[in-house]
């Protein structure tokens, strides 16, 4: 006779999640972030309280940002550990949709558990319920469907017997990995069911490593042997596979230089002799020169995003071929690539065996050194006098000079992602960027999640005043939980990055910098006082030298430190950049001569796009 245990559905969910393990013996789902409301407080809230330390709960300040913390946690753990996030019905749930989209785009696992309407429909419409006039099965949580890798609505307690294993299979599948949403009807959370005791036996989840097809492997090996100027494009899949050292060995043995995407940066330390830096729109002069001439571009764990490829105008060799090593066929076959489906580490090892002693060796190592020297010059302290506002490169240089092998630079949106991709010189693993969704407001919460996952690392969060104003409240959470990290807040009085793009596309300055907004008085926001009010240690740096001193002081504090520095919003990468075109549409009907010229330049650039082989 089957042994059962009577639990509410919420109790059963928490009990089951608490015994899903990694091969190292840790919880795979390492607790839950929660903000309670009527849709989850009486059911899931009670179950989480009773679980205690067996499945810990942490309270955030905003549903979206606590989800960002969970996403950063999973990214820092290379998708080997995740966290759950629960909210009430209605606005609490829809606040998390943006975070779900961020996780989906970045292929990162997180478990969303939003409360939902009553399955029995007796009290309909309940507070905060969104009613579809034509479909009685729809709720606000259906917004999660297009941004979830797996979506389920729990309308009966026994649904958990199939829904929970499916959720974990999705989050541990290297190809389909991404966010899971279990929309949990609030009455069902409290309903009891006799669950099989065997359902709660601990289970260890292993991440599979798919091996490549022998035919595909041979085809790619033949292409590499025939190539005169091959280049390796390193994406985030290299890091998630744990293939960093394998990539370095492959590149060195076969003489193929490495260029990086945002997600792949720091798979190789910047000091590695085969690392030629960032590719594409925000790319290095060395990397982009290689890309322009490459007759074979070998993508490893990348989805070939437009910034990486210069909107497909970067790879200009008329004879170029594209190879894509990826764990998912969807990404492997993009843009007419010769797909090689398999785990990055296993596939590179097998490919190296096929290549034997083959060594391409057609690159110029001096170009890498010239570029790095230009980076050092560009990031040097210009020692401006009174009233001088440093450029972002100077700020990056200050952080670089105070960093060590434990430092992780992180960011998400605005000017700094492009500047950091180009200029930051990390040790292996010293870079954490959310640029798949480029979501303003990820930074503070992401820094907290990153530090929770990697407590031994020195986390430095770069954030502009625009992103800080969008979402800063998890700073208070980090203070309460004693999670120390350093925030470098660059104040350029608005959205400097988009202002430059606006001007570059022939438009007039409008609605980005505060000076160009339709307002009576320019705001004078005291970011130091604001951060201090949430309990952080906060100070303003008056110069680059002062910033360096304050960065050193921050390392020993047990709470977050926020350092504010005013910066120039107008300056770009300068001599350090090999920046490439980005396809941002320019109006075809122009009122000004400047806009007409921008449109003409845009049309000329479109002619260089090489979209397919």
Structure tokens at 469: 């104003």
- Please determine, for residue 100, whether its predicted confidence score (pLDDT) is greater than 70: yes
Q: Fold for 379-576, please state it.
A: Rossmann fold (3.40.50)
User: Where residue 31 falls among pLDDT bands split at 50, 70, 90?
Assistant: very high
DSSP 123-154: TPSPTTPPPPTT-TT--GGGGGGGG-SEEEEE
Compute the distance between CA of residue 317 and CA of residue 322 in angstroms, rounded to an integer. 11
Three-state SS at 494: strand
Average pLDDT over residues 573-577: 63
pLDDT digit string (tens) for 64-84? Answer: 999 999 999 999 999 999 999
Structure tokens at 314: 């970067």
Longest dimension (CA), the chain: 83
What residues does CATH 3.40.50.970 cover in the chain?
Answer: 4-204, 379-576
Q: Which residues pair with 182 in a beta bridge?
A: 152
- Please determine, for residue 579, whether its predicted confidence score (pLDDT) is greater than 90: no
Distances (CA, A) of 278 to 12, 89, 112, 261, 368: 47, 42, 33, 6, 11
Closest CA to 479 of 539, 434, 433, 533: 533
What residues does CATH 3.40.50.1220 cover in the chain?
Answer: 214-368
- Please determine, for residue 544, whether its predicted confidence score (pLDDT) is greater than 60: yes
pLDDT digit string (tens) for 269-306? Answer: 999 999 999 999 999 999 999 999 999 999 999 999 99
Give me Rg for the CA atoms of the chain: 25
Residue 575 confidence (pLDDT): 59
User: Is 4-204 assigned to CATH 3.40.50.970?
Assistant: yes
Q: 120, 87 in Cβ contact below 8 A?
A: no
pLDDT digit string (tens) for 243-275? Answer: 999 999 999 999 999 999 999 999 999 999 999
pTM: 0.97
Report residue 512 CA to chain centroid gap. Answer: 24
Compute the distance between CA of residue 362 and CA of residue 345 in angstroms, rounded to an integer. 24
Closest CA to 463 of 347, 565, 376: 565
- For residue 199, the 8-state DSSP code is G
Residue 612 confidence (pLDDT): 61
Answer CATH for 214-368 from 3.30.70.580, 3.40.50.1220, 2.40.110.10, 3.40.50.300:
3.40.50.1220
DSSP 214-272: HHHHHHHHHHHHH-SSEEEEE-HHHHHHT-HHHHHHHHHHHT--EEE-TTTTTSS-TTS
- Please determine, for residue 613, whether its predicted confidence score (pLDDT) is greater than 60: no
Residue 572 confidence (pLDDT): 66
CA angle centred on 315, ends 311 and 317, rounded to 5°: 145
């Amino acid at each position: 006779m089957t042994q059962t245990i009577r639990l509410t559905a919420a109790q059963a969910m928490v009990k089951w999640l608490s015994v899903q393990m990694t091969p190292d013996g840790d919880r795979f789902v390492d607790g839950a972030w929660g903000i309670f409301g009527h849709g989850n407080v009486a059911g899931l809230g009670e179950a989480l309280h009773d679980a205690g330390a067996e499945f810990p709960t942490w309270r955030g300040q905003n549903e979206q940002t606590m989800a960002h913390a969970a996403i950063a946690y999973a990214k820092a753990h290379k998708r080997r550990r995740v966290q759950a996030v629960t909210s009430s019905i209605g606005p609490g749930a829809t606040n998390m949709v943006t975070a779900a989209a961020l996780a989906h785009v970045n292929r990162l696992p997180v478990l969303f558990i939003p409360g939902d309407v009553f399955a029995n429909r007796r009290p309909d419409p309940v507070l905060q319920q969104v009613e579809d006039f034509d479909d009685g099965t729809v709720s606000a949580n259906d917004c999660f469907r297009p941004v979830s890798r797996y979506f389920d609505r729990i309308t009966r307690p026994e649904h958990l017997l199939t829904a929970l294993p499916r959720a974990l299979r999705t989050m541990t599948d290297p190809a389909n990995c991404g966010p899971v949403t279990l929309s949990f009807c609030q009455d069902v959370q409290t309903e009891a069911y006799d669950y099989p005791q065997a359902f709660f036996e601990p289970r260890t989840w292993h991440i599979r490593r798919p091996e490549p097809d022998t035919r595909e492997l041979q085809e790619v090996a033949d292409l590499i042997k025939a190539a005169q100027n091959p280049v390796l494009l390193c994406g985030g899949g290299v890091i998630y596979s744990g293939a960093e050292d394998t990539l370095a060995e492959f590149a060195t043995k076969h003489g193929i230089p490495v260029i990086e995407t945002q997600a792949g940066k720091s798979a190789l330390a910047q000091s590695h002799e085969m690392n030629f830096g960032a590719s594409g729109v925000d790319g290095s002069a060395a990397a982009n020169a290689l890309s322009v001439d490459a007759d074979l571009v070998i993508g490893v764990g990348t989805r070939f995003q437009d910034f990486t490829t210069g909107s497909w105008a970067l790879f200009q060799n008329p004879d170029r071929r594209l190879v894509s090593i990826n764990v998912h066929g969807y990404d492997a076959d993009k843009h007419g690539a010769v797909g090689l489906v398999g785990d990055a580490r296993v596939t590179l090892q097998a490919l190296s065996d096929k290549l034997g002693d083959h060594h391409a060796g057609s690159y110029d190592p001096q170009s890498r050194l010239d570029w790095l020297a230009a980076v050092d010059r560009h990031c040097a302290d210009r020692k401006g006098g009174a009233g001088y506002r440093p450029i972002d490169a100077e700020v990056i240089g200050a952080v670089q000079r105070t960093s060590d092998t434990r430092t992780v630079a992180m960011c998400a949106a605005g000017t700094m992602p492009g500047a950091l991709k180009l200029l930051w010189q990390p040790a292996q693993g010293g870079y954490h960027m959310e640029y798949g969704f480029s979501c303003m407001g990820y930074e503070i919460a992401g820094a907290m999640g990153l530090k929770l996952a990697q407590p031994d690392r020195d986390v430095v969060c770069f954030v502009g005043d625009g992103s800080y104003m969008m979402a800063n409240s998890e700073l208070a959470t980090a203070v309460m939980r004693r999670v120390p990290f350093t925030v470098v807040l660059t104040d350029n009085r608005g959205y400097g990055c988009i202002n430059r793009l606006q001007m570059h596309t022939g438009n007039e300055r409008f609605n980005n910098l505060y000076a160009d907004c339709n307002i009576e008085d320019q705001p004078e926001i005291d970011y130091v006082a604001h951060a201090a009010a949430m309990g952080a240690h906060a100070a303003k740096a008056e110069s680059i030298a002062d910033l360096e001193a304050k960065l050193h002081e921050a390392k020993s504090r047990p709470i977050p430190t926020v350092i504010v520095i005013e910066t120039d919003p107008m300056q770009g990468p300068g001599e350090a950049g090999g920046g490439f075109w980005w396809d941002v549409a320019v109006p075809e009907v122009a009122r000004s001569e400047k806009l007409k010229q921008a449109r003409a330049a845009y049309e000329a650039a479109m002619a260089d796009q090489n979209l397919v082989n």
